[in-house]
Amino acid sequence: MSVYLEERLENMSSPNGGDKIENLYNASFKTKQVFCLECAFCWATVCKRAMKAVLLADSKVELFSTDAPERGNVDVVSDEAYYTDSCKCLIENVACIGCGNVIGYHVQMPCKPCLSSCNNGHFWMYNRWAVLAVERLNSQGNEVMLWEDIPEEHCDNGYGMFTEECVR
CATH number of the domain within which 46 lies: 2.170.150.20
As a dihedral over the C-alpha atoms of residue 5, residue 149, residue 161, residue 104, rounded to 10 degrees, the angle is -30
Provide the strand spans (E) within 16-116.
35-39, 45-55, 58-66, 74-76, 82-83, 90-96, 102-109
pTM: 0.74
- Range of 140's domain? 33-167
Instruction: Encode the chain (168 residues) as per-residue pLDDT tens digits.
Output: 333 334 443 443 344 443 444 444 556 778 889 999 999 999 999 999 999 988 777 778 889 999 888 889 999 987 789 998 888 889 999 999 999 999 999 999 988 888 888 777 788 999 999 999 999 998 888 899 998 888 765 556 554 444 344 444
Count of domains observed in the chain:
1
C-alpha span between 33 and 145 (Å, rounded): 6
Type of residue at 167: V
Q: Is residue 5 in a domain?
A: no
Q: Is residue 80 in a domain?
A: yes
Phi, psi of 130 (to 5 degrees): -100, -5
